[in-house]
């Protein structure tokens, strides 16, 4: 099959290569000339404009958008639309908010385009392991893309599926990422407790390696954690600063709207927020109140 890909970063570039290896024709666009040159050198076609991208694909076209969520997705669609024709399909493979996805679907479908949302998991390992894909959109449109999904997935019939109508793919990916936050937080806290028990002189790498085999908490995330510890057991040279790209907070908002109690995911998100505040105002407030009512000592900077 033919596929256009917009955004040839860590995800889009690797997906293009996985598709090429399976015999699909891939035409890719990126603002980075280095990224398009790399794609061409690998045997696909890298182009420097959206016009060239569209011109090098035969109708009905399928174009996979792999750009940061929010405005970049809207801008990409707005620029592409005049170049496309009825029957062409947009696939948003990024981490878009499902409400934006539903809005885009409802705008594009009456104009004759297809629009599919694909929550894509797998990170930099997807090129070899395959990508887990949670897909939303109209059944026949999703079905027409089957050869692409079968190739990108870990197995032809596994690790991907249409989970519901437009927005469902991104909604499921949002919750997937909320779970990711909670799992990560639990591992991080557990290893911190082990490290703090200095009198036992525990070897974190040894313990992680033991847990990798047969234990209830073994997982791919633990495998990656073990690799990270092997490379840098004390995490030297790293700042305790954890960004978030939005999916975790959308999960929390959604849980509140749905009256679902989700304390682990919520606290994991808030821990990330806290990691970015040095000597924060809240804690200085606590110290000063304690000082006011009890005359307790404050630590001066
Ligand atoms: O399944 C995946 O491959 C990941 O969930 C991925 O999609 C994630 O979005 C980013 O790795 C960082 O997300 P945060 O910045 O929110 O941690």
Catalytic (active site) residue 173: yes
- Is the domain of 179 the same as that of 112? no
Is residue 297 domain-resident? no
Categorize the per-residue pLDDT at 240 as very low, low, confident or very high, splitting at 50, 70 and 90: very high
| Active-site annotation holder among 180, 213, 231, 267 | 180
Quick one: pLDDT band at residue 285, thresholds 50, 70, 90? very high
Residues 8 and 146 in one domain: yes
Q: Is residue 228 part of a domain?
A: yes
Residue 207 — pLDDT band, cuts 50, 70, 90? very high
123 CB within 6 A, ligand 1: yes
Which pLDDT belongs to residue 158? 98
> For position 42, what pLDDT does the model report?
97
Flag whether 296 is in a domain. no
Query: Which residue has a Cα nearest atom 17 of ligand 1?
Result: 244
pLDDT of residue 128: 96
Last residue of a domain, one of 165, 192, 208: 165
Mean pLDDT of 55-82: 98
| CATH code where residue 192 lies | 1.10.1040.10
Query: Do both 44 and 149 map to the same domain?
Result: yes
Q: Are residues 211 and 277 in the same domain?
A: yes
Is 147 part of a structural domain of the chain?
yes
Residue from 173, 213, 267, 299 carrying the catalytic annotation: 173
Whose alpha carbon is nearest atom 8 of ligand 1?
Answer: 177
In a domain, 272, yes or no: yes
CA–CA distance from 213 to each of 91, 193, 203, 222, 286 (Å)? 38, 21, 16, 10, 44
With respect to residue 130, please indicate whether it lies within any of the assigned structural domains. Answer: yes
Do both 192 and 150 map to the same domain? no
Confidence of residue 279 (pLDDT cuts 50, 70, 90): very high
What is the CATH number for 95? 3.40.50.720
Query: Residue 215: which pLDDT band, with cuts at 50, 70 and 90?
Result: very high
Give per-residue pLDDT as tens, 161-171: 999 999 999 99
In a domain, 234, yes or no: yes
Residue 83: burial class (beta carbons within 10 Å; 0-12, 13-18, 19+): middle
194 and 130 housed in the same domain? no
**How large a percentage of the chain has pLDDT more than 90?**
100
Q: What is the pLDDT of residue 89?
A: 98
Residues 92 and 125 in one domain: yes
Last residue of a domain, one of 165, 193, 211: 165
Q: At which of 130, 165, 200 does a domain end?
A: 165
**190 lies in which domain range?**
173-285
Whole-number pLDDT of residue 8? 98
Here the tokens at position 89 are: 């399909």
pLDDT digits (tens, 9 = 90+) for 27-66: 999 999 999 999 999 999 999 999 999 999 999 999 999 9
Tell me if 295 is assigned to some domain: no
pLDDT confidence band for 11 (50 / 70 / 90): very high
Q: Whose CA is nearest to atom 1 of ligand 1?
A: 121
Supply the residue whose CA is at minimum distance from atom 7 of ligand 1. Answer: 121
The Å distance, Cα 132 to ligand 1 centre, comes to 13
Is residue 245 lining ligand 1, measured as CB closer than 6 Å? yes
Instruction: Please give the pLDDT value at position 98.
Output: 98
Residue 180 and residue 118 in one domain:
no
Residue 121 beta carbon below 6 angstroms from any ligand 1 atom: yes
Same domain for 83 and 177? no
Rounded distance from Cα 11 to ligand 1 centre (Å):
11
Q: What is the mean pLDDT of residues 257-282?
A: 97
Averaged pLDDT, 282-286: 96
To the question of pTM greater than 0.90 for the whole model, the response is yes
Is the distance from the beta carbon of residue 129 to the nearest atom of ligand 1 less than 6 Å? no
Which residues pair with residue 118 across a beta bridge?
135
Average pLDDT, the chain: 97
As a whole number of angstroms, the distance between CA 61 and CA 57 comes to: 6
* Cβ of 155 less than 6 Å from ligand 1: no
Domain count across the chain: 2
What average pLDDT score do residues 97-123 get? 98
- Residue 244 Cβ < 6 Å to ligand 1: yes
Ligand 1, pocket-test mutation among 247, 268, 272, 276, most atoms within 8 A of CB: 247
Same structural domain, 38 and 184: no
State the DSSP string of the chain.
Answer: -EEEEE--SHHHHHHHHHHHHTT-EEEEE-S-HHHHHHHHHTTSEEESSHHHHHHTSPSSPEEEE-S-SSHHHHHHHHHHGGG--TT-EEEE-S---HHHHHHHHHHHGGGT-EEEEEEEE-GGGHHHH--EEEEES-HHHHHHTHHHHHHHSSBTTBSEEEEESTTHHHHHHHHHHHHHHHHHHHHHHHHHHHHH-GGGT--HHHHHHHHHTT-TT--HHHHHHHHHHHH-TT-TT--S-----SHHHHHHHHHHHTT---HHHHHHHHHHHHHT-TT-HHHHHHHHHHHHHH-------
Q: Does the active-site annotation cover 213? A: no
Which of 179, 83, 79 has the alpha carbon at shortest distance from 132? 179
Same domain, 177 and 143: no
In this predicted structure, what is the pLDDT of residue 200? 98
Same domain for 158 and 184, yes or no, is no
What is the reported pLDDT for 14? Answer: 97
Under the banding of pLDDT at 50, 70 and 90, the label for residue 174 is very high
Confidence (pLDDT) at 19: 98
Query: 60 near 42, Cβ under 8 Å?
Result: no
């Amino acid at each position: 099959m033919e596929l256009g890909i917009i955004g040839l970063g860590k995800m889009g570039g690797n997906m293009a290569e996985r598709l090429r290896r399976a015999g699909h024709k891939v035409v890719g666009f990126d603002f980075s000339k280095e990224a398009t040159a790399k794609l061409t050198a690998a045997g696909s076609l890298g182009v420097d404009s959206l016009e060239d991208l569209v011109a090098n694909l035969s109708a009905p076209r399928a174009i996979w958008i792999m750009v940061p969520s929010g405005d970049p997705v809207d801008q990409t669609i707005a620029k592409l639309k005049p170049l496309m024709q009825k029957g062409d399909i947009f696939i948003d493979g990024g981490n878009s908010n499902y409400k934006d996805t539903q809005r885009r679907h409802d705008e594009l479908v009456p104009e004759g385009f297809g629009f599919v949302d694909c929550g894509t998991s797998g990170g930099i390992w997807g090129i070899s392991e395959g990508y887990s894909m949670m897909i939303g959109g109209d059944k026949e449109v999703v079905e027409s893309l089957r050869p692409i999904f079968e190739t990108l997935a870990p197995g032809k019939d596994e690790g991907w599926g249409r989970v519901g109508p437009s927005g469902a793919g991104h909604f499921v990916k949002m919750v997937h990422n909320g779970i990711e936050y909670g799992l990560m937080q639990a591992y991080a806290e557990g290893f911190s407790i082990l490290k703090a028990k200095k009198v036992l002189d525990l070897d974190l790498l040894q313990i992680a390696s033991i847990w990798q085999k047969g234990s209830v908490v073994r997982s791919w995330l633990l495998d990656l954690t073990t690799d990270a510890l092997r490379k840098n057991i004390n995490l030297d040279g790293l700042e305790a600063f954890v960004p978030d790209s939005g999916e975790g907070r959308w999960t929390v908002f959604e849980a509140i709207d749905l009256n679902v109690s989700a304390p682990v995911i919520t606290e994991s998100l808030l821990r990330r927020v806290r990691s970015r505040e040095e000597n924060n105002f809240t804690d200085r407030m606590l110290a000063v109140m304690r000082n006011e009512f009890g005359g307790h000592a404050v630590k001066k900077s």
